[in-house]
Amino acid sequence: MEEQLFQPPESAPDAPAAPADGPPQPGLPGPFAVGRYAAKLREELRKRARVQLIGEVAGLGRSRTQSYFELRDADGAVPCAIWLDDLEKLKLPEGALRDGAEIVVAGGPDYYPGSAQASPSFSFRVTHVRLAGEGDLLARLAALRKALEAEGLFELQKRLDRPALPRTIGVVTGERGAARRDLLAGLQRRGWRGTIVWGFAPVQDRHAAPAITRAVQDLAALPEVDVIAVARGGGSLADLWAFCDETLCRTVAMLRVPVVSAVGHERDRTLIDDVAAVACSTPTHAAEAVVPLDCGAARQGLDRCARGLERAAAGAVSGRARHLAALARGPQRALDRQRHALNQITREMRAASQRRVAERSDFQRRIAIVVLDRAQRRAHESVVRCAAENARSSAALERSARRALDRRRQALGRIGVTLRAHDPDRTLERGYVLAEAGDGEPLTSAAAADAANRFSLRFADGRLAARSEGPQEDE
Amino acid sequence: VNESTRPESYEKAVERLEEIIDRLDSGQAGLRETLELCREGRDLVEYCAAELDAVGEGLRELRLDEMAAKLEQAPATAAEREED
């Protein structure tokens, strides 16, 4: 029967039969007497493994016999109790066990079954307590860091665009901390004089993390806030523990407004530094991260820009005018170049043609010499030929002339003979007389002779003077 | 700067200004483009100067708790008026 109290249902044999009026859940073992069950429960709980727990003390109280408190963190809590005798044996420093203290406890679960007058209660029976050291916190921080990183929460803020020149900045910090003053000074050094919304919060106790979380959320809810800074001066890891709070860090990671963390000094690395868009080691750096633009330098740069633009605008016109003027001179230069080239070519051509003419005339001269030589030779040959021919011709001519002369001589002879036949002298020889006037003119009629009166008679052998006595009468 | 050409942010404006200056410095922009770039650049300079003026006039400090209190009061007063 005793064994059945804490055995799983399937292995619980011989469950008493349900009474006729029926239990609320038929088929389950029992009903058992509650006192016995409570005692068995304590016995079972005390069998659980003894462990160490780390967390923050809350609601510390004390009775006659024991001290009690809750050990908490962001995810939950366990009620703890320690016998005063045990506590005294630990010799903790005065006030070490206080609300908000980060402690490590050792012990195991226990149950007080109560009594007829006393209420029952569950508690983690603490046998040892010590203040949490850096190592414990670092171990917790490492575990948290690993978990958040695995969920990709470190990247979300880093993907947000941070404005170079925010108009309104939200700042979460302690109202009287040096961080506030340093951040303001840093912003002023950058020449930034916009609007700051201060979200003041405690920065070092168990109320810090929820207050900081709320402030960050409220600032992010203001539409005019462009960027949020979370700032606190340096301290031990325990002092800065609020900034490793899981809820705070998850909240920051999910914000749509970039968060710049400036918690502690260079060597302190809190969890909010990991999830924030930018982590800075000092408030001065934070001012630079919150307002990336150095406003004074930007104004000077802008002035230079404006002057550059004016110069570019003016230069675009005047530069082009100069270019145009240069271009206008271009064609003349090109013409000059072409003319020069042309002259050069002409000179070369002339020289070339002179060379060519000389070559050609030389060639022609040589040709002419050859031709003339040949012509002369031919002429000479022709002359020789002609001379020969002439010689031949002149011989022939001579011969022919001689023959013609002979022929003419013969014809002349013949003509002479003929002529002589007709010669009056020859007639006179034959006895005829020729009457001639004093001037030698023949008188061929008697009348002419009578008219002449005196005339001469020519005989073959000489002349006789005669005178007409008038016509003679026939007898 | 008119609404249609108003830059998204100061950094976008500066980015565009740098592009413009680079383009002008390259000497590759034609006359028309140069004059248009100069006009756009002047508008951007004007916008940036206005943004700088907005954060250069004087530090203004507000408290989140006071703002929250005012916000809480406002709906309450409105509710009271509704009840009246």
pLDDT tens across A265-293, in order?
777 688 999 999 999 988 888 999 999 98
Residue A392 pLDDT class (50, 70, 90 cuts): confident
pLDDT digits (tens, 9 = 90+) for A155-164: 999 999 988 8
| Residue A442 three-state SS | strand
State how far Cα A452 lies from the chain centre: 154
Residue A13 pLDDT class (50, 70, 90 cuts): very low
What does DSSP say about strands A434-436 and A278-279: parallel, antiparallel, or unpaired?
Answer: unpaired
Output phi, psi for A238, to 5 deg: -65, -40
Residue A15 pLDDT class (50, 70, 90 cuts): very low
Contacts of B11 in chain A (CB under 8 A): 163-165
pLDDT at A230 over 90: yes
What does DSSP say about strands A195-200 and A463-467: parallel, antiparallel, or unpaired?
Answer: unpaired
For residue B42, what is the nearest residue in chain A, using CA coordinates? Answer: A306
Minimal CA–CA distance to A284: which of A233, A243, A220, A224? Answer: A233
The CA distance from A312 to the nearest CA of chain B, in Å, is 7
User: A411: burial class by Cβ within 10 Å (0-12, 13-18, 19+)?
Assistant: exposed
Of A161, A219, A302, the CB nearest to B45: A302
Stretch A160-183: mean pLDDT, rounded? 90
* Mean confidence (pLDDT) of chain A: 85
pTM as predicted:
0.56
Residue A256 pLDDT class (50, 70, 90 cuts): very high
DSSP state of A16: P
The CA distance from B59 to the nearest CA of chain A, in Å, is 4
pLDDT digits (tens, 9 = 90+) for A73-94: 877 899 999 999 999 988 888 7
pLDDT at A165 over 60: yes
The pLDDT value given to residue A73: 81
The CA distance from A294 to the nearest CA of chain B, in Å, is 10
Contacts of A310 in chain B (CB under 8 A): 38
State how far Cα A205 lies from the chain centre: 58
Minimal CA–CA distance to A203: which of A248, A168, A170? Answer: A248
DSSP state of A165: S
Q: B42 vs A306: CB contact, 8 Å cut-off? A: yes
Cis bond before residue A8 (omega within 30° of 0): no
Task: Give the integer Cα–Cα distance in Å for A81 and A13.
Answer: 37
The pLDDT value given to residue A11: 47
Higher pLDDT, A310 or A79: A79
Cβ atoms within 10 A of the Cβ of A148, count? 18
Contacts of A317 in chain B (CB under 8 A): 31
The pLDDT value given to residue A419: 64
Of A192, A306, A316, the CB nearest to B31: A316
| In contact, A215 and A201? CB cutoff 8 Å | yes
The pLDDT value given to residue A28: 83
Q: B62 vs A195: CB contact, 8 Å cut-off? A: yes
Most confidently predicted of A22-26, A255-259, A438-442, A453-457: A255-259
pLDDT at B22 over 70: yes
Residue A8 pLDDT class (50, 70, 90 cuts): low
For residue B16, what is the nearest residue in chain A, using CA coordinates? Answer: A305
Q: B38 vs A309: CB contact, 8 Å cut-off? A: yes
pLDDT at A468 over 80: yes
The pLDDT value given to residue A169: 95
